[in-house]
Structure 1
Amino acid sequence: MTETTENKDLVQEQQDVQADTTAENVEQAEVQEETAELSIEEQYEAKLAELQAKLEDEENRHLRLRADFDNMRRRQQLDREAAEKYRAQSLLSDLLPVLDNFERALQVETTSEEAASIIKGIDMVYRSLIEATEKEGLQVIKAEGEPFDPNVHQAVMQEQDSEKETGIVLRELQKGYLLKDRVLRPTMVSVNE
């Protein structure tokens, strides 16, 4: 009896496999019929839609690349302008101690006429140097009597003056300089508490 049951099960499995295969064959035939049923006109329309989608993708890609290129060109132009604007920064930074030394030399008190003429010559050289640096955009940062600004001032000490407001610069200890709109050296100051 078991053999008969096993045979029946085998026969049933074979019939199920054949039914599945037949169903798959029917589905494939239907798909082929649908494709064959598409007229040539519909096939062209489908192909045209596909090509239009590809063209649109390529146009979008082209526009993005062009925008990237324009942005890169704009950045390079800004970099060139900044390099031109601040081309003298290194030289002027090196000249700041020279200006300080000229100012110290001009503060020396003279008693003889010889020393006075030397000081006069130093003053002439100092003024011509100041004119040349101002042509390049060097400016002195104003400090005394101004409110303390941490962007352009460096507080190195605090003092008390009851006649002035808190946070006002009382004394300038070392001059600070700007190159156009960039701080080359902040002004060292004493600030009112």
Structure 2
Amino acid sequence: MVDDIHNMAHEPASDPEAIEEILEEDAVDIDFDDVVEAAAATVEAADAAPPFNEDNSVDSAVVADLERQVAGLKAQLEDRANQSMRIAADFENYRKRTSKEKDELATQIKGDTVIELLPVVDNFERARSQIKPQTEAEMTIHKSYQSVYKQLVETLKRLGVSAMRAEGQEFDPLLHEAVMREPTADHAEGVVIEEFVRGYQLGDRVLRHAMVKVAAPPEDDSQSPDVESTGPSD
């Protein structure tokens, strides 16, 4: 039983009820019944063979035998107590690990689902920036699908998804993907000056890197002046 608990505590999580079934099936091993029975047998043996001679002197052999039995019982009791503590510790570690793996799996599934929805968000944002309704009917349609976009964004926020704000930030390869560098004196080197595709995060996990343009040092167009060479005078 102990080996089963130790093996489950150090193996990938499977059925959380399996370890509980083992504990229920072999609970007698943890109740110290065998130690209690041995102690009772020792007491009975002591009653049957008291450690005194006929002249009321102590029989050292009987006392030594009883001391050995008591020491053995103490060792068994300590072993069972340590065994129970190890089982409890292994079970607690198993419970914590399965809980962590469950949370990580849920986050992974959520992130993969959101990644599939990001192109839909992109299309809504392109429509908002590029389509300019001219008539009242067009404006009605425009507001209608933009309300759907707003609802989608609010749903993503409730799931823990956040959009990156890359422009004006220092370029970070963990968050951004530089697709262009532009020499400029208007921004410090390495600053994001334009965002082409917005990046998204789920907690600390990057779902999509932001595709950006990064400032580079301005090009030096100055040229060294020509130095007129002079030959030896005649």
- Mapped to 1, the partners of 2:86 and 2:141 lie a distance apart of 67
- Mapped to 2, the partners of 1:40 and 1:155 lie a distance apart of 88
- 1:30 maps to which residue? none
- Mapped to 2, the partners of 1:158 and 1:61 lie a distance apart of 64
Q: TM-score scaled to structure 2, two decimals?
A: 0.59
- 1:17 maps to which residue? none
- 2:111 maps to which residue? 89
Q: What are the Cα deviations for residues 37-77 of structure 1, in whole angstroms up to 9, with x where unaligned?
A: 96111121122223322322222122111101011112223
- 2:69 maps to which residue? 47
**8 Å CA contact 1:146, 1:169 repeated in 2:** yes
- Residue 159 of structure 2 is aligned to residue 136 of structure 1: yes
- Mapped to 1, the partners of 2:214 and 2:62 lie a distance apart of 89
Structure number with larger C-alpha Rg: 1
Structure 2 unaligned regions, length at least 5:
1-58, 217-234
SS at match of 1:99: helix
- 1:108 maps to which residue? 130
Report the residue type matching 1:190 in the other structure.
K
- 1:181 maps to which residue? 204
- Mapped to 2, the partners of 1:38 and 1:155 lie a distance apart of 89
Q: What are the Cα deviations for residues 70-90 of structure 1, in whole angstroms up to 9, with x where unaligned?
A: 111122233344455666333
- Residue 152 of structure 2 is aligned to residue 152 of structure 1: no
- Residue 142 of structure 2 is aligned to residue 119 of structure 1: yes
- Mapped to 2, the partners of 1:159 and 1:54 lie a distance apart of 77
Structure 1 unaligned regions, length at least 5:
1-36
- 2:79 maps to which residue? 57
Q: What are the Cα deviations for residues 127-151 of structure 1, in whole angstroms up to 9, with x where unaligned?
A: 2221222222221011000112222
Q: What are the Cα deviations for residues 12-49 of structure 1, in whole angstroms up to 9, with x where unaligned?
A: xxxxxxxxxxxxxxxxxxxxxxxxx9611112112222
- Mapped to 1, the partners of 2:75 and 2:190 lie a distance apart of 66
Cα distance, 1:159 vs structure 2 = 2.0
- Mapped to 1, the partners of 2:133 and 2:103 lie a distance apart of 51
**8 Å CA contact 1:89, 1:179 repeated in 2:** yes
- Residue 186 of structure 2 is aligned to residue 170 of structure 1: no
Alignment of structure 1 residues 2-81 onto 2, 5 Å: 39-81=61-103
- Mapped to 2, the partners of 1:129 and 1:84 lie a distance apart of 20
- Mapped to 1, the partners of 2:151 and 2:205 lie a distance apart of 23
**8 Å CA contact 2:179, 2:211 repeated in 1:** yes
Structure with bigger helix share is: 1
Question: Of the candidates 139, 160, 184, which is equivalent to residue 161 of structure 1?
Answer: 184
- Mapped to 1, the partners of 2:181 and 2:164 lie a distance apart of 19
SS at match of 1:155: strand
Report the residue type matching 1:108 in the other structure.
Q
